[in-house]
Amino acid sequence: MSARPLDRLAGDFGESWKLTFPCTRAEAEAIDVDFSALAMLEPPPVLMTTEEVVDDAERWRLDAYFDSKPDKATIAAIRALVPSAAASTAKAERVPDADWVTLSQSGLEPVSAGRFFVHTAEYAGAIPPDVRAFAIPAGLAFGTGHHETTTGCLTMLDAMKRRGARVDNLIDLGTGTGLLAFAALHLWPRAYATATDIDSIAIDVTIENAEANGIALGQRQGRVALSVADGTDDALVQRRAPYDLVIANILAGPLVEMAGDIAGISAPGGQLVLAGLLKTQAEGVARAYRRQGFRLAERLDLGDWAILRLRMRR
């Protein structure tokens, strides 16, 4: 049995209520792609998908955690996320005095990607030698390292460094937990680094994670400058441009919409690492960036997901 909590989670609950529905792997992945279906719930539930039978794409489970007993409309909204469970009955189960963050992370194994080792705070095992370890809790923001898109970005960045890529000024758009910005700064420690997110909670989480992992914050070289920003439309982002590395682990739709804006802050010869897109969406995203003067330099497929590295033509 393997567990994968979705990367957007809610806050700490003193006591929880849980709903469980059967689902398929495809449905589990679709939930991760479009969390907006639950935007009307406040606070949003914690969603956790579990592979109940190894390598059986039809035998997955969706658990939804709430800070109060869900009503009928909420139960219907969760059931709608997994169409194969349309005929399933669900009863809210109380989980008294449970720390759902610990519960959701208890089955998570650390992630190894290149020279990086990402683990949760609850991990009590040994950290391998010669790696840069990051403790990233599955909490309030996207990007714990346990999804293929984040793992793929880490792998791609590590490969760039091994091939001798030079980066002096980098930005992580939609940073989530800060993990990718931290990893990039570890690879290029003398670079200027910027990390932004449209969600102020994500920036708060990034500050906490930076402190926990010994990452210096600020606007000088070797530090990560933070900003709550909607894409590239931000004074700090514009002032620090152009960037020779842009990382954007978002979703395919926003990546296409932002192609012109990202081109506008990219240095000639600069590189992009784009993720959050399914393999079926990769060509459409690459096409949008070719129109802005980029060429596809590398593609990495992990599961149903694609990670693209593009380079701005000089």
Which residue ranges are tagged as binding site?
150, 174, 197, 249
Neighbours of 58 (CB within 10 A): 13
Q: What CA–CA distance (Å, rounded) separates 142 from 136?
A: 11
How far lies 1's CA from each of 75, 84, 108, in Å? Answer: 25, 20, 11
The CB-side HSE value for 69 (13 A sphere, CA atoms) comes to 7
- Per-residue HEC secondary structure of 40-51 comes to CCCCCCEEEEEE
Locate 108 and state its tokens: 């998570």
Asked if 197 and 189 touch (Cβ cutoff 8 Å), the reply is no
Q: What CA–CA distance (Å, rounded) separates 68 from 43?
A: 10
Q: What CA–CA distance (Å, rounded) separates 303 from 299?
A: 13
Q: What is the dihedral of CA 52, 42, 253, 303, to 10 degrees?
A: -10
Residue ranges at the known binding site for S-adenosyl-L-methionine:
150, 174, 197, 249
Q: Please name the amino acid found at residue 257.
A: E
Strands 132-135 and 116-119: parallel
